[in-house]
Structure 1
Amino acid sequence: MTDEDPQEWDWLPRRTSTLTRMAIILASLGVAVLIAALFVKGWIDDRLDPPGDEGSELVVNIPQGASINDIARIFEEEGVVANSTVFRYYLRYKDAGDFQAGNYVLNQNMSVWRAKDVLLAGPAPGPADDAIRVVLPEGLTLAQVQAELLSQLPTFDADDLARALAFPPVRSRHQPANSTLEGMLFPDTYHLDSATAEDEAALIVRLIGQFDTVASEVGLATAPDTVGITPHEAVIVASLIEKEALVNEDRAKIARVIYNRLAAGWPLQIDAAVRYAVNKPSEPLTRADLAVENPYNVYNRTGLPPGPIAAPGRDSLIAALNPANGFWLFYARTDDPVVGAHTFSATIEDHEAAVAVCREKNLGC
């Protein structure tokens, strides 16, 4: 037996320790990758086949020339599938395409394979071809939504609809306690089957569900981090934007004016909120209107009104969460550079000049 080199005893333990550490690191990485893979798999599985039973039946129209992307978007907006991207990739993975235009009878909360099978079967014959189309434009108050539904759906009972609006079966996840559905019924085009056209509560549930779907898509829950207010307050801001903006390019700027005035402790002085307070949708406001004691009168008090003043659309919700950068505190309609455009000002002098243009053009200032 030969004598052992003392230096060999010095490095052998360190080599063993390094191997052990590498093994631990590799094992940890393997566990992390496994956990991530399981999380991703679970996320995808829930979007391929959402948990719970299928929801209410509805008729969805696929327009002529709609692509797979269009169909996936429509199905997500209608609540048929959980995620348009996952559904789109599933259809392409299954080499499914060239679907026929027409009306399809589906259910909310469907699995992607069930939705695909309905598409492959083609448009539903008979009653589905007579699907009822209901259009709710942006900017309607709750009372106006109620009137529109009664006008467009003669099968609805006025008392049952009023009851469904006052005591809805579900609430939006962004709706505070003791608040109404004002601003929580998403403005959109809805295709109803004959059953839903006679079920007031079912349609209200669908309108609330569509609001929550769009709210999730635009990131409403991030409002405390992005703009420093609650999600419901962001809906209030969006409703003010919806009633004030006449062109899409102004929405984010109006949002900035609102936030700048809130930060400065100034009254918002937004006419649309006063119109809501005194129930004057279009008539000229008087000095008495601007002085009325009402929590929605943002001329004689600071802060936001206590609730939305109308149903905001997607663009207004996005603007409320993504205000433009600027120091503006005022805006006035000048129709420059396009009809409906406002001029935004940081000083009272510039604002007065814009107001002079507004009055010269008789634009309502």
Structure 2
Amino acid sequence: MTDQDPTSRPGSDDSRRYFTDRPASQAPNRHRRRRGPGDPTTTGSIPIVRVDRTLPDPTIEYRTPEPTEGESSYFEVRYRSSDDSAMQFTDPQWTQQPPPTHARPEPPAPRRHAQPPQAPPGEPVPEVQTQPTQRVAPVSRHAAPATFSPRAQQPPAESVVAEPAEAHDSAFDVLESRREHVGESPRETRVYPPDDAESGAEYEPSALDILDDDGDDPVVGGAMPARRRNKRVLVGVGAVALILVLVVGGLGLKWFGVFDSRTDYDSATGSGAVLVEVPADAAIRDVGQTLADAGVVGSKRAFVDAAENGPGVSAGFYDLPKGISAKSALEMMSGTDKRVGRIIVPEGLQLDSKESTGGNTRPGIFEMISKATTITTDDGDYGVSVEQLDDAAAQATPDELGIPSWAKQKVQKLTGDHRRIEGLIASGAWEDIDPRLDAKQILRELITRSETRYTAWGLLDGNDAKLSPYDALTVASIVEAEARKEDDFPKVARVILNRLDRDQRLEMDSTANYTADVRANDLHGDAYNDDNEWNTYKHNGLPLTPIGAVGDRALRATEDPANGSWLYFVTVDEDGTTLFASTFEKHKQNRQVACRNKFLKVGCE
């Protein structure tokens, strides 16, 4: 403002400069808007210039936010003594009083133990109100600077702390204040009994109760420190997790054999005897544990180490000595000499033992069972005799023996004759006959499991000849006894079915040999002429029961026989060569071939 007269006064053009009110026709000021008195948006001291031609100089007002009610203690008007000082804007000196401080209460912490009753919290302390200051009015037209004297600073209001309140009956504790004074004795740990504790009973705190006392002491002034609310939960979870880790880890180490003893015996023969069972789904570790418990080997770990690269162990029963090395036990269990309850039933084998023309006796199924199950151990004797098996087969009910539904009627008619269950025990290997069972239980086990085999071989699927399952089993038993080579099985089945269709006697040597005391290839004499219901030389149709154990080949050949018109066949040599014929004349010629080979002697020319 060097070109302007310092004594000049604001005119009409100064309204934009000094933020005066403008007509509605003029453009608004581009500067900040003027805030009216009491405007809540006013921040800080704002200089306001009042322009009046009657005033000798501009009047400077300092304005601060005013209270909504009452006279403002911060509004003052001062008049400058000179023009130079009129354009200098300074804020008045004033002392800011710090706001009163109030104690902030802590949120209530959940109560863990029963507390004594407490009263509600005290009344809040009202805030200290500041008295307003009267503004100074001008004494004359000539403004003079106001004389300010700093007000004495008032001390801040003291924070009032509520006295400890009585316990509240609600689920949460009311805020409490505890004070600690210098020289006090250490705080005593107190454990309150649970809510459900009996009244008057002495309560002994547990380890978790003591751990639950977090030991937080109050701060001087009444402020309550924050409690670790989940401490007990965390301690419990951590303890459970640690226990689980230890248990699982220990079980894992035990399963891997870390803690197993490796004790082993040196003897290869041992002493005494014990019956040991190996289940079908047993692992080597299970077998080793069973042997160790029975005293056969020194430890499970010793047997596992011996079997690591050795032969496997079959399921079943074993007669083993005690106190032998793990290696010896493994060798004994790998063979068949120490097996108990294991038999192999050949195709065509009968229940009864049969002597042949060469003087040899072929053991029957009952004799094989008796021999396989009879043992003597340190615990006692096991097994069944042939007589016990005969009696059970003859006298037990079909249900006790486990007879299939398709064979019950035939078996029931022959009560008293042990041969009524002939053919119901299938051929093949039986690995695990339990020697601890009695005769009826053993037969029931074998017959029930044989039904499963026959079903798998297609016995119940039907056949071309429309035979019942029991009759099909009977035909298959004859095929087993007559055929020698596998290619001849369907042909022999066709001969039998063709004769049945013609109502012609079967005249099979195997049916006559079934009841004979001595089995002969060249049938003649008493066996040929014996009039019994199994001898097809004397009776039409099928024999009364099957004549031996049936296998898969014979049963499938009966279900699906070969195509042909054969009515006769004869085996002509020791190799089992069999010739088939559709006429009797051709059959006689084939028999002469057997005579020339000295395989037959009866009927030779």
* 2: CA distance, partners of 1:278 / 1:330: 23
Deviations 1:30-68 (A, max 9, x none): xxxxxxxxxxxxxxxxxxxxxxxxxxx875599xxxxxx
Q: Is the 8 A contact 2:345 2:549 kept in 1?
A: no
Match of 2:453 in 1: 214
Match of 2:393 in 1: 165
1:284 Cα deviation (Å)? 4.8
1:352 Cα deviation (Å)? 1.4
Instruction: Letter of the 1:139 partner, please give it.
Output: G
Deviations 1:52-111 (A, max 9, x none): xxxxx875599xxxxxxxxxxxxxxxxxxxxxxxxxxxxxxxxxxxxx8432479xxxxx
Match of 1:181 in 2: 421
C-alpha change, 1:102 and 1:290, in structure 2 (3 Å) is same
Q: Is the 8 A contact 1:330 1:351 kept in 2?
A: yes
Aligned with 1:279 (options 517, 529, 549): 517
Number of residue equivalences: 251
1:283 Cα deviation (Å)? 7.1
Aligned with 2:346 (options 137, 161, 166): 137
* 2: CA distance, partners of 1:238 / 1:59: 33
Unaligned runs of 5+ in 1: 1-56, 63-99, 107-123
Match of 1:291 in 2: 529
* 1: CA distance, partners of 2:450 / 2:426: 5
Q: Is the 8 A contact 1:105 1:128 kept in 2?
A: no
Moved more, 291-300 or 279-288: 279-288
Match of 1:5 in 2: none
State TM-score, norm by structure 2: 0.38
* 1: CA distance, partners of 2:498 / 2:441: 40
Match of 1:330 in 2: 568
* 2: CA distance, partners of 1:172 / 1:279: 30
Instruction: Letter of the 1:162 partner, please give it.
Output: D
C-alpha change, 1:131 and 1:183, in structure 2 (3 Å) is same
Q: Is the 8 A contact 1:185 1:208 kept in 2?
A: yes
C-alpha change, 1:169 and 1:350, in structure 2 (3 Å) is closer
Match of 1:363 in 2: 599
Q: Please give the secondary structure, in 2, of the residue aligned with 1:312.
A: coil
Given the alignment of the two structures, is residue 341 of structure 1 paired with residue 573 of structure 2, yes or no? no
More helix by share: 1
Q: Is the 8 A contact 2:426 2:454 kept in 1?
A: no
1:263 Cα deviation (Å)? 0.8
Aligned with 1:249 (options 453, 473, 487): 487
Q: Please give the secondary structure, in 2, of the residue aligned with 1:332.
A: strand
Instruction: Letter of the 2:569 partner, please give it.
Output: Y
* 1: CA distance, partners of 2:392 / 2:279: 21
Q: Is the 8 A contact 1:61 1:191 kept in 2?
A: no
Q: Is the 8 A contact 1:59 1:128 kept in 2?
A: no
Match of 2:368 in 1: 148
Instruction: Letter of the 1:140 partner, please give it.
Output: L
Q: Is the 8 A contact 1:238 1:320 kept in 2?
A: yes
1:243 Cα deviation (Å)? 0.8
Q: Is the 8 A contact 1:131 1:192 kept in 2?
A: no
* 1: CA distance, partners of 2:469 / 2:369: 27
1:150 Cα deviation (Å)? 1.8
* 1: CA distance, partners of 2:427 / 2:475: 16
**Which structure ranks higher in relative contact order (CA pairs < 8 Å, sequence separation ≥ 6)?**
1
C-alpha change, 1:134 and 1:299, in structure 2 (3 Å) is same
State TM-score, norm by structure 1: 0.61
C-alpha change, 1:326 and 1:154, in structure 2 (3 Å) is same
Instruction: Letter of the 1:246 partner, please give it.
Output: R
Structure-to-structure mapping, 1:196-215, within 5 angstroms: 196-199=434-437, 200-215=439-454
Q: Is the 8 A contact 1:60 1:191 kept in 2?
A: no
Structure-to-structure mapping, 1:49-64, within 5 angstroms: 59-60=279-280
1:186 Cα deviation (Å)? 1.2
Identity level (%): 26
C-alpha change, 1:105 and 1:269, in structure 2 (3 Å) is closer
Q: Is the 8 A contact 1:59 1:192 kept in 2?
A: no
1:297 Cα deviation (Å)? 1.5
Match of 1:22 in 2: none
Deviations 1:98-154 (A, max 9, x none): xx8432479xxxxxxxxxxxxxxxxx9899765433222221212221122223332
C-alpha change, 1:348 and 1:151, in structure 2 (3 Å) is same
Instruction: Letter of the 1:309 partner, please give it.
Output: I
Match of 1:102 in 2: 313
* 2: CA distance, partners of 1:331 / 1:147: 33
Match of 1:77 in 2: none
Moved more, 297-306 or 204-213: 204-213
Moved more, 214-223 or 253-262: 214-223
Q: Please give the secondary structure, in 2, of the residue aligned with 1:305.
A: coil
Q: Is the 8 A contact 2:505 2:540 kept in 1?
A: yes
Q: Is the 8 A contact 1:58 1:192 kept in 2?
A: no
Match of 2:137 in 1: none
Match of 2:432 in 1: 192
Q: Please give the secondary structure, in 2, of the residue aligned with 1:176.
A: helix
* 1: CA distance, partners of 2:552 / 2:487: 14
Name the Cα RMSD after superposition: 3.1
